[in-house]
Amino acid sequence: MAKLKEKLREKIEAWRPRTARLVKEFGEVKVGEVNIGQVIGGARDVKCLVTDISYLDPNEGIRFRGMTIPEVMEKLPKVPGSEMPFVEGHLWFLLTGDIPTMEDTMDVVAEFKQRQQIPQYAIDVLRAMPRDTHPMTMLSAAVVAMQRESIYVQRYNAGMHRNDYWDPTFEDSMNLLAKMPCIAAYIFRMKYRGDTIIPPNPDLDMGGNFAHMMGVPKPYDDVSRLYFILHSDHESGNVSAHAGHLIASALSDVYYAVSGLINGLAGPLHGLANQEVLRWIQGVMEKMGGKIPSDEEMRKFVWDTLKSGQVIPGYGHAVLRKTDPRYMAQREFCLKHMPEDPIFKYTDMLFRIVPPVLLEQGKAKDPWPNVDAQSGVIQWHYGVTEYDFYTVLFAVGRALGVTANIIWDRGLGYPIERPKSVTTDMLEAVAGIKK
Ligand code: NMX
Ligand code: MLT
């Protein structure tokens, strides 16, 4: 690990003067203004976070370290015999901004293998929970249970210098990231496969090992790699990334922060939408007795959902104003590997039908599909039909980006986050309707 950590040290030290200068010399320069709609409306578009790990352009979609998804997929070192890159190489890229060599990537692969053993007490926590507990609750509980492992806390308590905070945060992050796929697969096999646990295979990379522990054959290893990379980061304002950053800003360790991000991701307006999409499609299929509906029938289902006061899961976005490139990357995979899958056909039909309906309804600012509209379809195709598990996969991916951000937050010495609230009276005064 010395290589990645040394590279990161160089990068952080080189970056610090840029951040310090901005604060010292230009701290009073305005970035934007905030209106009442934004104060009441979930801080939409308020520019008050900084990250260099990814940026979300409304009309283009995500760029990781300046690169689009197709560029990242093309440039990262590939797992031999597979279509997809190493997730471990993507982590190197997120952390350093540089595309790793194969040798760099294999360093991270080796490091994850050494750190992947789940402590028995975390397994005991999982096993003590009722089996019908949601898998996101299980994942969150297992992660926070391991907080006692935090090297950051040990070093903090021993009086570490603040310039060094990022170093044990990096160690904690690597320890946790290596274990998360193992915990996720453990939950899956315990809950849904008759408690038949498959131990890790030390010869495999993160994605390959996850597929192995899930007990799902190829190309599920590539599905996992694709999935973890696509879900890794979506700049800093989304609920899971922001929750992770916020918690860590109090200098809570990454176990607390990642458990918190999992809790935010478990909401149906965020990551849980991927399970809602499958639940909703299954409902439509049941009503249709399995047959593909006509366009008119599908349009009616969409309208019925809207009229019953529900959202169409997998559609819309707080920032994006076009089809999510993560949706397109998964659609490409489906077209290549499973074009005849009946649920994929439904999904593709929805891609045609939903946006015009949402436009006609005139409420959603973004009528296009997001990442969650397509992801469950692939899981279902490869036999992972327990859709309440899908957000766990999102969480394993998202932990990569959030921990990378937290390491940098610590490296650049970002302070505790503390925005200001006002009262309704104050807003009415600002609006000029009350003295
Ligand atoms: N179906 C129906 N109505 C929608 C949808 C949708 N898919 N998307 C937005 N709207 C409504 C929204 O509820 C709001 O209604 P109202 O004024 O009555 O409160 C109105 O359109 C304006 O909302 P927007 O400003 O377009 O969206 P906002 O930024 O508030 O929310 C989402 C963004 C993603 C929460 C919203 O689009 C949504 O609920 N989508 C469905 C759930 C989903 O797919 N979430 C996953 C997002 C991606 N992820 O993984 O996190
Ligand atoms: C995400 O990946 O976090 C979602 O697309 C939500 C968002 O970016 O707001």
pLDDT at 274: 95
Rounded CA gap, 242 and 244, in Å? 5
Question: Does ligand 2 lie within 6 Å of residue 224's CB atom?
Answer: no
The rounded percent of the chain whose pLDDT value lies above 90 is: 97
Of 208-217, 232-241, 282-291, 309-318, the range with the lowest mean pLDDT is 282-291
Query: Other CB atoms closer than 10 Å to residue 162's CB: what's the count?
Result: 10
270 catalytic, yes or no?
Answer: yes
Ligand 2 atom 2 nearest Cα: 234
Nearest atom in ligand 1 to 306's CA: 2
Which pTM value belongs to this model? 0.98
Q: In whole angstroms, what separates CA 151 from the centre of its chain?
A: 24
Look at residue 291 and tell me whether its pLDDT is greater than 90. no
Query: Tell me: the pLDDT tens digits for 18-57?
Result: 999 999 999 999 999 999 999 999 999 999 999 999 999 9
Both tokens of 1, joined, read 């690990």
Both tokens of 342, joined, read 């009946």
Name the packing angle between helices 2-26 and 87-96 (round to 10°): 30
3-state class of 114 per DSSP? Answer: helix
**CB environment 13-32: b (16+ within 10 A), e (fewer):** eeeeeebeeeeeeeeeeeee
Q: What confidence tier does 196 reach under pLDDT thresholds 50, 70, 90? A: very high
Q: Which of 107, 253, 372, 409 is catalytic?
A: 372
Distance (angstroms) between ligand 2 centre and the Cα of 323 equals 13
Question: Does ligand 2 lie within 6 Å of residue 277's CB atom?
Answer: no
Cα–Cα distances (Å) from 342 to 55, 186, 188, 285, 380, in that order, read 35, 29, 24, 10, 11
- 345 CB-contact burial (10 Å; exposed 0-12 / middle 13-18 / buried 19+): middle
372 catalytic, yes or no?
Answer: yes
pLDDT at 63: 98
- Of the residues 40, 236, 315, which should be mutated to test ligand 1's pocket, given the most ligand atoms within 8 Å of the CB? 315
Ligand 1 atom 16 nearest Cα: 363
Ligand at minimal distance from the CA of 54 is 2
The residues, any chain, with a CB within 8 Å of residue 59's CB and separated by 6 or more, are 321, 322
Distance (angstroms) between ligand 1 centre and the Cα of 416 equals 30
Both tokens of 255, joined, read 């176990």
Greater confidence (308 vs 434) lies with 308
Query: Tell me: the pLDDT tens digits for 346-364?
Result: 999 999 999 999 999 999 9
Ligand at minimal distance from the CA of 309 is 1
Task: Give the position of tokens 């008119």.
Answer: 296
- pLDDT averaged over the chain? 97
Q: What confidence tier does 1 reach under pLDDT thresholds 50, 70, 90? A: low
Q: Which of 317, 324, 366, 409 is catalytic?
A: 317
Both tokens of 369, joined, read 């599909």
CA 402-243-266 angle, to 5 degrees, is: 95
Look at residue 230 and tell me whether its pLDDT is greater than 80. yes
The rounded percent of the chain whose pLDDT value lies above 70 is: 100
Question: Does ligand 2 lie within 6 Å of residue 370's CB atom?
Answer: yes
Q: What confidence tier does 292 reach under pLDDT thresholds 50, 70, 90? A: confident
Both tokens of 218, joined, read 């190829």
Distance (angstroms) between ligand 2 centre and the Cα of 236 equals 9
Rounded CA gap, 369 and 59, in Å? 13
3-state class of 30 per DSSP? Answer: coil
pLDDT at 435: 78
The residues, any chain, with a CB within 8 Å of residue 127's CB and separated by 6 or more, are 190
Q: Which of 90, 242, 270, 381 is catalytic?
A: 270
- Of the residues 280, 317, 350, 372, which should be mutated to test ligand 1's pocket, given the most ligand atoms within 8 Å of the CB? 317
Rounded CA gap, 330 and 227, in Å? 8
pLDDT at 250: 98
Question: Does ligand 2 lie within 6 Å of residue 273's CB atom?
Answer: no
Ligand 2 atom 6 nearest Cα: 238
pLDDT at 434: 85
Both tokens of 336, joined, read 């290549």
Nearest atom in ligand 1 to 239's CA: 51
Rounded CA gap, 9 and 5, in Å? 6
pLDDT at 356: 98
Look at residue 218 and tell me whether its pLDDT is greater than 80. yes
Ligand 1 atom 23 nearest Cα: 364
pLDDT at 288: 85
Distance (angstroms) between ligand 2 centre and the Cα of 234 equals 6
Distance (angstroms) between ligand 1 centre and the Cα of 313 equals 8
Rounded CA gap, 209 and 221, in Å? 8
pLDDT at 259: 99
Distance (angstroms) between ligand 1 centre and the Cα of 316 equals 5
